Structure 1
Amino acid sequence: MDDLRAFETTARLGSVRFAADSLALTHGAVSRRITKLSEDLGFKLFEKSGRGLRLTAAGEVLNLTLGRFFTELATTVESLRAANARQNALVLSCEPSVAMRWLIPRLASFQAAHPDIALHLSVGGGPVEFRRDRIDLAIRRLDFALPDAWHVQRLFPEKVGPVVSPQLAPAFASGEYIALGSKTRPDAWSRWLSTHPSVRRPTEIRFYDHHFLIVEAASAGLGVALSP
């Protein structure tokens, strides 16, 4: 490998001296490695051209192959290093709304307190496949069965209620408001209103795909979001 590297570097840089500087070797060491490689292979790799060197036809072919080989080798090593780094990281899965509105605002203080923990976020909801999805921890609303072997720590009970920008608060009180709901809980407004009979009904209910979207819409003054 050392002889091949010396040859490839010399061919790429066009000079034994430049190759020696690049490889942190002496001029003589690089020349000896190229000579040894040529003897082992049984054919010449370079020939003199004026005061310099040029590749032989066989050297050209070998150099093209080695260029691809060393490039692929470097790419493979980097991908393995990245995979190893991911294995040493902690992967946490949670729903987008939880990540955006609750978790991410707290991560800066967590990382300051635990700089040795590399935390990666994975967005997801519902049942968890830890092994398949390579997840270490998950934050979930517990509306599905859990295997007995799982370790569960309850964070807090879920509370659901209206979220409204200050300028729309009078409209919410008077019933002149658009209700914003999530398609993941299409009956949330009807159930909430049934338990809060004193609240005036909305003029319309509009549905978004996810909770983080209805919270953003409420913040923009588009209506009143019923959000966990």
Structure 2
Amino acid sequence: MILNLPFAALRAFEAVARHGSFSEAADELGVGQSAVSQHVKSLEEWLGHDLITRGARRSLPTRDGARLALSIADGLGQISEVCEDIRDKRRDDTTIVISCHPGFAFIWLFPRLLNFDRAHPEFAISITTDTGLRGVARAEADIAIRYGTGDFPGYAVKPLMRETLSPVCAPSLLKGPKPLRRIVDLAYHTQIRDEFGPTTTDLPTWEYWAREAGQTLPTPARIRSFGQSNMVVQATLQGDGIAMGRSPLVMDALRDGQLVQPFPHSVPSPLNYWLVYPEDQRRAKKIALFLDWIAAEAQVQYRQHLDAKSDIQND
């Protein structure tokens, strides 16, 4: 007999166990964090056992939870593969499906896709915004662009962009009644924080930057936090405060003068951008073509950034 299983709750729980985070699970499933939390709670009540040990930084499965999460992942994976075979919707060889985080897609990838269309009109690009690797593993995407340490076992991995960190703000914050000129001036301004990040030992936070740059941060006037990188950049462009600039996401705005770096201190980020794809796709023509194109675009952006910095220094 098959139990009347709460499938939505099981799927939400598996995502939390895999990510170690309710917020990242919510991003993957496209629902609110409260909905994911309620699903997990209802599943625990239905089973009569705790499944997740909730923590400030990470939420880890209990022993029973780990067993259940593995079973769900295996079961859903098999169901997905069978459905894929039944639907027989294999992508056309002229379509390239890219999986990446919404913030990166909005800020960096979308503005550059016209260049790809012009150079390769025979191919079509489709974007899916997903933060996990399941989409690539289940043939839902050809290539994933991921942000992290580059540790993706079982996949071919190529570095796309290295990241540096430095505070950035709108030019208007350099003037006014409380001009931003020294680190201590941060006490009079809003600190904008990016809440998104993989579960790692170090994240590109304000505290990380201060430690690596040998600086002491004052207590800011207020803090505003966002769960998506594009919202962080947009709030900074509007002059709402100072953000920790992640170089690939702010280089264009710095070059155009929409953002400025009020301080000279720049440090390497603990995380970078990577191209991730199945090992057996390494020699596929469309994969190789896209990898070459996006690597060239990243190099163009970096050179433009260096030229802009040189122009500023020469003024």
Q: Does residue 172 of the first structure (1) align with residue 183 of the second (2)?
A: no
Q: Secondary structure at the match of 2:193?
A: strand
**Given that residues 226 and 232 in structure 2 are in contact (C-alpha distance below 8 angstroms), is that contact kept between their aligned partners in structure 1?**
yes
Q: Does residue 106 of the first structure (1) align with residue 112 of the second (2)?
A: yes
The one of 186, 194, 216 equivalent to 2:234 is 216
Distance 1:122 1:130 in 2: 11
Shift of 1:126: 4.3
The one of 113, 118, 126 equivalent to 1:120 is 126
What per-residue deviation string (whole Å, max 9, x for no partner) do you get for residues 9-57 of structure 1? xxxxxxxxxxxxxxxxxxxxxxxxxxxxxxxxxxxxxxxxxxxxxxxxx
Structure 2: which 5+ runs fail to align?
1-86, 198-202, 247-315
**Given that residues 181 and 214 in structure 1 are in contact (C-alpha distance below 8 angstroms), is that contact kept between their aligned partners in structure 2?**
yes
Shift of 1:114: 0.4
Shift of 1:86: 5.9
Taking the TM superposition and a 5 Å limit, the aligned residue runs for 1:41-80 are: none
Taking the TM superposition and a 5 Å limit, the aligned residue runs for 1:1-228 are: 83=89, 88-132=94-138, 134-143=140-149, 145-148=151-154, 150-170=155-175, 171-173=179-181, 174-175=185-186, 176-185=188-197, 188-198=205-215, 201=218, 202-228=220-246
Q: If you compute each CA radius of gyration, which structure gives the higher value, 1 or 2? A: 1
Q: Secondary structure at the match of 2:159?
A: coil
Q: Secondary structure at the match of 1:153?
A: strand
Question: Which residue identity is paired with 1:131?
Answer: A
Distance 1:197 1:203 in 2: 22
Distance 1:187 1:137 in 2: 25
Distance 1:215 1:93 in 2: 21
What per-residue deviation string (whole Å, max 9, x for no partner) do you get for residues 72-126 of structure 1? xxxxxxxx89x56667511001112211121111111111000011110111224
Structure 1: which 5+ runs fail to align?
1-79
Name the count of aligned residue pairs: 147
Question: Which residue identity is paired with 1:104?
Answer: F
**Given that residues 90 and 117 in structure 1 are in contact (C-alpha distance below 8 angstroms), is that contact kept between their aligned partners in structure 2?**
yes
Question: Which residue identity is paired with 2:195?
Answer: K
**Given that residues 103 and 230 in structure 2 are in contact (C-alpha distance below 8 angstroms), is that contact kept between their aligned partners in structure 1?**
yes
Distance 2:166 2:99 in 1: 24
Q: Secondary structure at the match of 1:195?
A: helix
**Given that residues 163 and 215 in structure 1 are in contact (C-alpha distance below 8 angstroms), is that contact kept between their aligned partners in structure 2?**
no
Q: Secondary structure at the match of 1:134?
A: coil
Distance 1:133 1:221 in 2: 42
Tell me the percent identity.
27
In structure 2, do the counterparts of structure 1 residues 87 and 178 end up closer, same or farther at CA, with 3 Å as the change threshold? same
**Given that residues 162 and 225 in structure 1 are in contact (C-alpha distance below 8 angstroms), is that contact kept between their aligned partners in structure 2?**
yes
Distance 2:207 2:241 in 1: 16
Q: Secondary structure at the match of 2:128?
A: strand
Distance 1:167 1:212 in 2: 20
Shift of 1:199: 6.7
Distance 2:227 2:238 in 1: 17
**Given that residues 211 and 227 in structure 1 are in contact (C-alpha distance below 8 angstroms), is that contact kept between their aligned partners in structure 2?**
no
In structure 2, do the counterparts of structure 1 residues 205 and 197 end up closer, same or farther at CA, with 3 Å as the change threshold? farther
Distance 1:122 1:102 in 2: 14
Distance 1:196 1:215 in 2: 22
**Given that residues 127 and 144 in structure 1 are in contact (C-alpha distance below 8 angstroms), is that contact kept between their aligned partners in structure 2?**
no
